[in-house]
Structure 1
Amino acid sequence: MRFLLSIKAFLLGLFRTEQLIRNKYVEIIPEELRPGFLYVEGDGYKNQFASLLCPCGCNEDINLNLEPDEDPCWSLSAGNLTDLSPSIWKSNNCRSHFFIKKGKVKWCPDNNQ
């Protein structure tokens, strides 16, 4: 079964268009997100939250905590291109599982789309 899911993820990856994800620093995350951006909310000194549209195309918002004192927490590298860790794994709906490294979405082989 795991083998079939890996093949499915690989085949889906062949047809995806690669998009760069760029950091967009904002005071408040907007209600309507645009593809290709990770909206980073903070006060200029400390990033608190981040949101993006799921890169699989399902148009669902993904909200991430950047506060190290809370769990789970993601780490964001400074700069224009998004570099997040650990991976993002949606546990419902499209079930996307991916990393964002240097602005590029790297799909995990266990992606259940």
Structure 2
Amino acid sequence: MLVKLLKVLRWLRLLKTDFVVVEQEVFPDEGSVSRGDLVVVRSGEVSKWACMRCPGGCGKQISLSLNPARRPRWGVSIDYWLRPTLAPSIHQKNECGCHFLLQNGKVRWCKDGRPKGQANSPAKTGARQRT
């Protein structure tokens, strides 16, 4: 219910965020994650994966391990409005080449981390370049 409310607030531009958290128990199929969702896969209280679509425009699903015993691994924190913060940064090694941080639900581009062809233009997500 809260996720639907947040999506409406985002659509009305009352909540400015690029991503909100959606929790589920099953790993999402390739291509099933909606743009703007960070799917956190949990088993009970244990967070296992964070999955999202690349904000750079290629649309590929990015799956990040949250398991502290695996390398590489990421940590996720979630605020009251379900806005995620991921650490460390995400660096796509495919043709897209994106390198970004996700902080309080907003995409923050790393230096020279914008997708190819968007070096001097705003991101499709509407995030501003980090200064």
Of the two structures, which has the highest relative contact order with CA contacts closer than 8 Å and spacing of 6 or more? 1
TM tier relative to shorter chain: 0.7 to 0.9
Partner in structure 2 of residue 47 of structure 1: 47
Aligned to 1:3: none
Aligned-pair distance for 1:29? 2.8
**TM-score normalised to the size of structure 1?**
0.79
Distance (Å, rounded) in 2 between the aligned partners of 1:69 and 1:40: 17
Residue of 79, 82, 87 corresponding to 2:84: 82
Query: Could you tell me how far 1:34 is from its partner in structure 2?
Result: 0.4
- More helix by proportion, 1 or 2? 1
Structure 2: distance between partners of 1:87 and 1:51: 14
Query: 1:102 corresponds to which residue?
Result: 104
Q: Structure 1: which 4+ aligned runs deviate by more than 2 Å? A: none
Percent same amino acid among aligned pairs? 33
Gaps of 5+ in 1: 1-17
Aligned positions, number: 96
User: Relative to 1, partners in 2 of residues 1:55 and 1:19: Cα closer, same or farther, differing over 3 Å?
Assistant: farther
Deviation at 1:19, TM superposition (A): 5.3
TM-score, scaled relative to structure 2 = 0.69
* Cα offsets for 1:38-76 (capped at 9, x unmatched): 101011301001110000121101010000111000000
RMSD: 1.5
Counterpart-to-counterpart distance in 1, 2:93 and 2:63:
13
Give the whole-Å Cα distance in 1 for the aligned partners of 2:37 and 2:110: 20
